[in-house]
Structure 1
Amino acid sequence: ELEELYEKYKDYGFEILDFPCNQFGEQAPGTIEEINEFCALHFNTKFERFAKINVNGEHAIPLYKELVKEKGFNGFNPNHKLTPVLEEKLSKQDPNYKQDPSIKWNFTKFLIDAEGTVIERFEPTEDMKVVEEYIKNQI
């Protein structure tokens, strides 16, 4: 779905910057080369992918420290099938996880305008149609 959005809106200046992270259930264990190959082979992605990073904790890169400061966690989409799984997992790790602005799971997305203003944060449970509406409002 991300690649579809990229292809649909890239001519309007829309970019996707992908930062792989292995802090969530070790979903990105490989090298950046292996991740690039996997994404190209399985999803035909063409948008920009960067080196693996940490998005949480003391080794989080400054970009993500700023992003979560600007747009903290606002809950998961209650209608998504992954929501109960994530809520159970996260509440076992930290009963107060909802108050923490940190990134909760892979594929958390931030929409940033051309001036660098953080417009919105989308959790991985958000319907991509909602994400697309925000994108359309920016072009």
Structure 2
Amino acid sequence: MLVVFLISGAATLYGKKIRQIIFEKPQNKTVRFLVFAGTDYSAPIYKKEKATVSLTISRLTNGKEEIVWQEVLDKGSVRNFPNYSNAMYREVCVHNVFDNRETLVAYYTVSYASRKSQMSYVQGEALPQGSALDTLQVKI
């Protein structure tokens, strides 16, 4: 009797999970990017330093990546990027996201260029399931 009860309980829970995946309704997810200078670039050494920021949102489905949205912010000199209190703000709404089948990833690439050298780095994160609004802070 106990075995039958445990098997029927497990089947019910598993059936609910399958039903939830099959009948899942798409959601809208909003991603906010805050872009700002994380350092004081007013010193003369930064006069000719340049920076660009590439913001990207991708959708991962079954191991395949699809770029949903992308924008490049180029203010020229690093001095032209605002401080935190005046941060550049981008808000993107991604429609028809199936949380149980897809993963949204928001990331950014910051590229610096000076007289004879270039450097860039990439950072990002997978957006959690169930959240409707996520914020990424991009420090230049």
Instruction: Give the structure with the higher percent strand.
Output: 2
TM-score normalised to structure 1 length:
0.24
* Highest RCO, 1 vs 2 (Cα 8 Å, sep ≥ 6): 2
TM-score normalised to structure 2 length:
0.24
Larger radius of gyration: 2
